[in-house]
Amino acid sequence: MDLTLNHGPDTRFPRPLKVALVGECMIEVRGGPDAAITQTFGGDTLNTAVYLARLNPRGAVAVDYMTAVGNDAFSAAMRQSWLDEGIGDAHVRVIEDALPGLYFIQTDPHGERRFLYWRGEAAARRMFEGAEAEAEAMLAALADYDYVYLSGITLAILLPEGRERLIHALHRARRAGTRIVFDNNYRPHLWPDPETARQAYRDLLHLSDLALVTWEDDASLFGYHDPDALFSVYAEAGVREVALKRGAASCLIQCPAGRFEVPAQTVAQVIDTTAAGDSFNAAYLACHLRGGDPQQAARWGHRLAAEVVQYRGALIPQAAMPSMDTSSLPFVEQV
């Protein structure tokens, strides 16, 4: 199958496009030490899955989440929340003696976040461990998807055996025609050392068709001094399309059509930057799946991220989802 990163619905598939997002969903708690707290669910790849499901026309794209959970009430509620958002859970492994991870969000007056994590024994870390049939089935199922999306956090949380098995499974999936989308999302505290992270990222980049990159993360991990250096390394790795996110600054895109710069949207008041990058990625990929070119995909990304940062928490209310410009898309069925 041709691995070219096409833009738009793939007419070779008579069924909906299938997208799997691989990662960890956690229990999210927000509030202050002396204030009431709010509990929901979140995680970088899960946030992207929710926004991707919301933005795609029903029946055109099937969004599944691939992870491991426990056999507890929080895990059951977590899975139900995915189903309520239209996200499939057919490839979720249940590990009897494990629980979901948990994180606490604190935000400063400028909307910047501080996270406190409890995830050392989280079920998702073991999703691809052992010879159990569930792990083998999940890895084999990756080749059944048109797109597989994962992040640097996905790589970081996995134990070494699971990470290696995932990389091998992605090789097999890509040979079968699956396209790989990678969000670099580097969190130093999740890795034993930077070199382990760098090697895992290099392995994944050689498999990636589309990279959605946060500049600060790659500059920190690889020591890039400017975007040109980053783009050169990604091109050498064979990544056909790179969208370089730079916070409130413009997004830079490198793709076969050239290099482009797309301005961000101005936000009067930032409340909480949680999931800004995750939502950008979801909108970028959603536009791509509906036929948009990279520049329009970046405009979608900025549009959604600008709305998300005006709400507390990772997931904004469904009613707050912004409308997107579909006037130039070849596939414009309304969501």
Active site residues: 278
Distance CA 112, CA 334 (A): 34
What end-to-end distance do the CA atoms of the chain give, in Å? 29
Is 227:242 a contact under the CB 8 Å cutoff? Answer: no
Nearest-CA neighbor of 231 among 217, 246, 213? 213
How long a stretch of residues is the chain?
335
| 251-108-78 Cα angle (round to 5) | 75
Look at residue 108 in the predicted model and tell me its pLDDT: 67
Please list, in sequence order, all residues whose beta carbon lies within 8 angstroms of the beta carbon of residue 231, skipping any fewer than 6 positions away.
242, 244, 252, 254, 259
Fold of 18-207+264-319: UDP-N-acetylmuramoyl-L-alanine:D-glutamate ligase (3.40.1190)
Look at residue 102 in the predicted model and tell me its pLDDT: 92
Look at residue 13 in the predicted model and tell me its pLDDT: 45
Written as tens digits, the pLDDT of the chain (335 aa) is: 333 455 444 444 457 899 999 999 999 887 765 667 888 898 999 999 999 999 987 788 999 999 999 999 999 999 999 999 999 999 999 999 899 999 887 766 665 667 788 887 899 999 999 877 899 999 999 999 999 999 999 999 999 999 999 999 999 999 999 999 999 999 999 999 999 999 999 999 999 999 999 999 999 999 999 999 999 999 999 999 999 999 989 999 999 999 999 999 999 888 888 899 999 999 999 999 999 999 999 999 999 999 999 998 889 999 999 999 887 776 544 33
Look at residue 11 in the predicted model and tell me its pLDDT: 47
In DSSP notation, 54-111 reads HHSPTTTEEEEEEEEE-SSHHHHHHHHHHHHTTEE-TTEEE-TT-B--EEEEEE-TTS
Look at residue 331 in the predicted model and tell me its pLDDT: 55
Amino acid making up residue 271: I
Look at residue 313 in the predicted model and tell me its pLDDT: 81
Is 86:64 a contact under the CB 8 Å cutoff? Answer: no
